[in-house]
Chains A and B, each alone.
Chain A
């Protein structure tokens, strides 16, 4: 029933601006693939090209063995869910869901049955005769999803589907979409700028930046083994420490971190360390810092540790590891699994202010 989607060398130019540059990936049948990136990274354009709403400047698109590149939107038969729902405002909920069946000239009886079935699936049966402007955002998006699913598409494309909703509804819908996908198993492509959403829902994450694919892999690959400085900074929170390479280490004034064997001697480099990989130690780790601030976040504490060079590290440490440590104490700092990236080759977020933002805006793992 569901089909894999494959794109190869997909490129889109608007005038001289390259919105999408040589993007290739495969979304396996029945999985969820998240296209993750900041706004302007070209992820929505990729999705719109797969749907046929934009014409690629170069590249090819397949659904199974069927090449879609030259086909019209109408022929592609993909389901598309828009960020702002795009429900037909002059039609009722039921008429919206029925639309895709009606334009395909399906008989009335089977249309009615399908609409009923879908509204039940998205728990909107009681709202069949309402108009979109009489529904909440979450309800509208559920209707939009059932409308997209009505013609039984082989592929479902979701463009920031929860982007316009508030945090609580977003959480609920995310879980609900996960369950729905397990039930239907339709190949889904999810465009999002929310890394948490991508990591939670997707089987595969394709990280995009400035029109290019930075990395494609499982959520664990992308999180634990970022291929580029951009991925390290964008997916999950990270402390960024700037220095230069000496004998396979990134030197940062008073101390050094390992993991720079692949980088050229003397090159400018940045080491990325996740907040939960920064630990306070009793033993001499060679890195000494002062606890500036300490905040309790349930089962863990968030520490700001100032290093002798002036950099501030954010650390997420379980309470039981902290002992008597408090604000103002000097501690040994253990930097676990740092990832080093050369700066010339791949700038990433070199702006220290931007790096700071990544840390401060970090998603604290919720207490679940």
Chain B
């Protein structure tokens, strides 16, 4: 006789615990993101403005700070140009061509994710430093690689290689070949096909790749620190400036520079996301 109520009860119970479990899971996720991602950012903002707003103008007016930002900007710009153009080529080859060693190439592309930047910097020192494989060659050309811009750019590119490729490969795979074939039968050149058919379809993946690359290049320190020789006013990037400023107890200046770097990266990522959404909405309204 009591069978029916007990069935109802046993059905009700897991539902209640299910809701509880889902709530706990959501709470854990939010707490995790808030504590580990947002709190440090809030901390930087608070610390940067603690000595008063004038510290911002004061710090950004310093010649060594300006030079550090300029250097970071140059390195980032070159890195974006190289990783974007070669990233397109590598992603295209990985998706569209079948060749011996393709799987290996696919794995090698991710290598920078697995390596510590310090290791990358060390490798560059071994290649271009005293007794390195390429040292004599570049010395003969009169090009200073180590402790100068070339090695700093080189290690940053190395570290940023995977971002564009990893964004592009799945999108290119999904896009397929047929639309490109169609464009070519309609008389489009390879360049027209790329610009009018392929690019509009991989545009957002490419932009995300560039945004991630920018953020990573702006923030890189480990490898750059090792190859730069930290020559103040010469090979000091924004991140290296933060590092040295903290050592010299110029905490406020370090915080302001850190804030600028963080704000640039975040604005870039949020901005692209916003543009993408706006674009999707405009498209779905027609």
Q: Which residues of A pack against B, CB within 8 Å?
A: 51-53, 73-74, 76-80, 82, 84, 86-90, 92, 99-100, 103-104, 129-131, 144, 147-148, 150-151, 157
Residues in B neighbouring A150, C-beta threshold 8 A: 186
Residues of chain A lying within 8 A (CB to CB) of residue B173? none
Within the complex, the shortest CB–CB distance from B92 to chain A, in Å, comes to: 17
Question: How far is the CB of B87 from the nearest CB of chain A, in Å?
Answer: 21
Across the interface, A79 reaches (CB within 8 A) one of B181, B184, B185, namely B185
CA gap between A78 and B182 in the complex, in Å: 11
B179 near A51 with CB under 8 A, answer no
* Cβ-defined contact, B196 with A80, below 8 A: no
**B286 close to A129 (CB less than 8 A):** yes
Min C-beta distance of A321 to chain B, whole Å:
50
**Chain A interface SS verdict (over half):** loop
Contact check, A77 vs B187: say whether CB atoms are below 8 A apart. Answer: yes
Contacts of B131 in A (CB 8 A): none
In the complex, which residues 166-203 of chain B have their Cβ closer than 8 Å to any Cβ of chain A?
178-179, 181-189, 192, 196-197, 200-201
Q: For A82, list chain B residues within 8 Å (CB).
A: 178, 181-182
Q: A77-B187, A100-B186, A104-B187 are in contact. Are A89 and B286 (CB under 8 A)?
A: no
Are A88 and B179 neighbours in the complex by a CB distance under 8 Å? Answer: yes
- Of chain A, the residue at the smallest CB distance from B184 is A73
Enumerate chain B interface residues (CB-CB to A < 8 A): 178-179, 181-189, 192, 196-197, 200-201, 283, 286
> Quick one: closest A residue to B193, CB to CB?
A103
Nearest opposing residue in chain B for A130, CB measure: B286
Q: Bound complex: CA of A47 vs CA of B79, how far in Å?
A: 44
A232 to chain B, nearest CB (A): 35
Complexed CA–CA distance, A28 and B286 (Å): 44
A250 to B286, CA, bound (A): 68
Residue B181 contacts which of A78, A86, A144 (CB distance < 8 angstroms)?
A: A86
Residues of A within 8 A of B184 (CB): 52-53, 73-74
- CB distance B201 to A89 under 8 Å? yes
Which residues on B sit within 8 Å (CB–CB) of A147? 182, 186
Best-buried of A79, A84, A99, A151 by chain B (most CB within 10 Å): A99
Q: Assuming A74-B184, A90-B200, is B178 touching A84 (CB within 8 A)? A: yes
User: Would you give 29 A-B contacts (Cβ < 8 Å), ordered by A?
Assistant: A51-B185, A53-B184, A53-B185, A73-B184, A73-B185, A74-B184, A74-B187, A74-B188, A76-B185, A78-B185, A79-B185, A80-B181, A80-B182, A82-B178, A82-B181, A84-B178, A86-B178, A86-B181, A87-B179, A88-B179, A88-B182, A89-B201, A92-B286, A103-B183, A103-B188, A104-B187, A129-B286, A147-B182, A147-B186
CB distance from A98 to the nearest CB of B (A): 10
The reply to whether A99 and B185 form a contact with Cβ atoms under 8 Å apart is no
**Residues in A neighbouring B179, C-beta threshold 8 A:** 86-89
Task: Tell me how far the C-beta of B91 lies from the nearest C-beta in chain A, rounded to whole angstroms.
Answer: 19
User: How far, in whole Å, are A131 and B227 apart by their CA atoms in the complex?
Assistant: 52
Whether A103 and B178, one on each chain, are in contact in the complex, defined by CB atoms closer than 8 angstroms, is no
Residues of A within 8 A of B197 (CB): 88
Enumerate chain A residues within 8 angstroms of B187, measured Cβ to Cβ.
74, 77, 100, 103-104, 151
Asked if residues B186 and A131 are in contact (CB atoms below 8 Å), the reply is no
Give Cα A99–Cα B181 distance, bound, in whole angstroms: 13
A88 contact from B183, B189, B192, Cβ within 8 A: B183
The minimal Cβ–Cβ distance linking A325 to chain B, given in whole angstroms, is 53
Which residue of the partner chain, among A51, A103, A144, A148, contacts B192 with CB atoms under 8 Å? A103
- CA distance in complex: A86, B179 (Å): 5
Q: How far is the CA of A102 from the CA of B281 in the complex (A)?
A: 27
Chain A residues whose CB sits within 8 angstroms of the CB of B182 once the complex forms = 80, 82, 86-88, 144, 147
Contact of A103 among B181, B186, B200, B286 (CB under 8 A): B186
CB closest residue in chain A, given B178: A86
Q: Which residues of B contact A79 (CB under 8 A)?
A: 185
What's the minimum C-beta distance from A360 to chain B, rounded to whole angstroms?
A: 34
Task: Output the least CB separation between B183 and chain A (Å).
Answer: 7
CB nearest to A134 among chain B residues: B286
CB distance from A64 to the nearest CB of B (A): 18
The smallest C-beta distance from B9 to any residue of chain A, in angstroms, reads: 48
Residues in chain A near residue B283, CB distance under 8 A: 131
